[in-house]
Amino acid sequence: MIVFILAGGALWAQTGDFQSTLFPILEKANCRACHNADGVASATRLHFPEADADAAKIAAFGNSLVVLVDRQNLDASLLLRKPTARMPHTGGERIKRNSPEEAVLKAWIQKLAQLSGAELAVALKYRELESEGGDAAEDAQLRRLTHSQYNHTVRDLLGDQTAPAMQFPPEDFVNGFLNQSRGQSLSPLLEEAYSNAAEKLARSAFRGGDTHGLLSCKPSSPECRKQFVREFGRKAFRRPLAPVEQQRYESMLASEPDFLKGAQLVVEAMLQSPNFLFWINRASEPKWKAWATASRLSYSVWDTMPDAELFAAAERGELATRQGVEKQVRRMLADPRARESLDEFVSQWLRFDRLTTASKDRRKFPYFTRETANAMITEARTFVSDLVWNGGNFMDLFTANYGYVSPELARIYGVPAPARDFERVPFPANSERAGILGQGLFLALTAKPEDSSPTARGLFVREQFLCQHVPDPPPGVNTNLPPVTEAKPQTNRDRMSEHTTSASCATCHQLMDAVGFGLEKFDAVGARREQMVLEFRKKSDEDADEDGKHPIPKRIITLPLNTNAYVAGIPNSEFSSPRELGAVLAKSSQCQECVVKQYFRFQAGRSDTPADRPLIRAVTDDFRNSGFRFKELILSVVLLREFPQEKPRPDVAHNH
């Protein structure tokens, strides 16, 4: 694309210097914040080039704006009417009418309208190329085991069930997940944790003899030393050992007269090797390619090391074909270990961690305990698991009229406690609950300790379910709202009107708050309320009146709630409850594609790039054609990442 643009440099030159005229104005107006692949305006025809784009790309982008110009009536051009708010614009007024900036914008529109046939063809060609993606992001050659992968791997390798990685330094969320290659550095603390874990695991592996069956030969056999190193090393490193590695570990084993003590040394050393702690994602040498594919499939679908059958398929060369990979993935999806990997994806995507560390005002919500939070997580996990493994329509994630209720949740939901914990229970028709948006998990983790948070709820919907990045607040902006007083009681909606008085805050808060207002009938723990109840005390709760016996009465003020809301950027998206918002999201192409993007990011270990757009579109098509069956989404992502140049067979997305 760059060569093509440079070859047409004379054509660009005829249209003026976009980079020094209009482009800085659009940048200052912060149009890029919404008009990018992950922005609120990602579904529009206006996408800014990458922040590090060179002059040729910026010039090409400037000419491509011709698609937003009405060549017959320049004043009717979207390129003029949208940023000046002459017509409804999610971003509001970005360029003031009759300003010098608008004059520059109009001058550029005039130039675009005068493009010749050849120049116009070049501009439209840029749009075509841009829509097909840009430069590809390279997958990391090595991926470090995440903490969950470490636990699952030592379980399958050694039979150890102690989950030692639970004691490791916590992992950081990058791009919304814990397994992103950009966040997988090795800190000194983590290195020390690996060393300690290796020592304990190796000692435990041979406590009381070969209790975990790691030896397939008799120690007294002369060949057993070589056989143990070869077989255990192949599993631990997820590939055959090189001759020099084989000799090194054989010598280590031979250094101990007691065979089991020598084997313990080998295990401890291998568990500290980078060859164990990192798995091959993309092989640089052809001889490791099949083994890299086996690890890639295994850690993607199972969150653990390959099993014997996957290793055998790699040795036989079956993983070099689409048919061979599909056969293995379908087998793996039927294995219970696939559920562990899905649980990891769901727990990170839906941010279970935020609820496990959340605190709620004990005076207002005395029944919200650690058990309540765990029940909310279990409900969400059970709900998603049922949709995936029982072949449901995954977009029911947003519209299902039921939950999986425990006694703790029954109190919050206002339903009878089921006979058994986490039985499927229909939501009452008047509850206005539906899907994940009506469950305690979402409503509680997107709330403050004492009350709901429209901003947090709207932000979560934008980021997790629409894959849209909302810009951070400008530096130095005071994000504190005025306190609620007895003299001036206000709902959250009234208080947050303060956000709209500041131009630096209004646009972004409109994107978030306008969504969160529709969920205001649900408090900080997800219980339904018809009105907002404000309590005012002149003294603390512990104070008493003059006789020292009766607590001082509190004044209660109730305020009506206005839950009219909408999702800016999605047409006809008005709603006033979780149930109605769920219906909006379920039928939204942005939300459907976001589900695909989130799983792609989790599996690839990186954020998607413009070059990934064709793959994501193809997977989304497969997802839709399958009736939104998530297992088919998993298969489609794997196959298209393994064989990006091969067109999928028509029946790939329909074999259930």
pLDDT digits (tens, 9 = 90+) for 497-545: 766 666 656 677 788 999 999 999 999 999 999 998 888 876 555 555 5
The CA distance from 421 to 361, in Å, is: 26
Measured from the Cβ of residue 651, the count of other Cβ atoms closer than 10 Å reads 7
Q: Specify whether the CB–CB gap between 5 and 60 falls below 8 A.
A: yes
The string of pLDDT tens digits covering residues 118-157 is 777 777 766 655 555 555 567 888 899 999 999 999 999 9
The CA distance from 107 to 120, in Å, is: 17
DSSP class per residue in 465-506: IS--PPPPPPTT---PPPPP-SSS---HHHHGGGGGGSHHHH
User: What local confidence, expressed as pLDDT, does residue 601 receive?
Assistant: 96
The string of pLDDT tens digits covering residues 162-221 is 999 999 999 999 999 999 988 888 899 999 999 999 999 999 999 989 989 999 999 989
Q: What angle do CA 352, 389, 417 make, to 5 degrees?
A: 60
User: What local confidence, expressed as pLDDT, does residue 11 receive?
Assistant: 33
What is the token pair recorded at 60? 């090409």
User: What local confidence, expressed as pLDDT, does residue 7 receive?
Assistant: 35
Q: Which long-range contacts (CB under 8 A, 24 or more apart) does 429-432 make?
A: 431/528, 432/521, 432/528, 432/577, 432/578, 432/579, 432/580
Domain residues of the chain, as ranges? 2-131, 142-303, 350-473+485-586
User: What local confidence, expressed as pLDDT, does residue 391 receive?
Assistant: 94
With a CB cutoff of 8 Å and minimum separation 6, the contacts of 365 are: 523, 524, 525
List, run by run, the mean pLDDT of 10-residue segments along the chain (656 residues): 34 57 87 79 78 83 85 88 85 86 88 80 65 65 95 97 96 94 90 97 94 91 94 97 96 95 97 95 87 96 97 96 97 97 97 95 93 97 97 97 96 93 94 97 96 95 94 69 81 78 68 93 96 77 52 79 92 96 97 97 92 93 97 97 70 41
User: What local confidence, expressed as pLDDT, does residue 525 receive?
Assistant: 97
The CA distance from 587 to 564, in Å, is: 20
What is the token pair recorded at 41? 């305006």
User: What local confidence, expressed as pLDDT, does residue 9 receive?
Assistant: 36
Give CA separation, 586 vs 167, 350, 526, 582, in Å. 39, 16, 21, 6
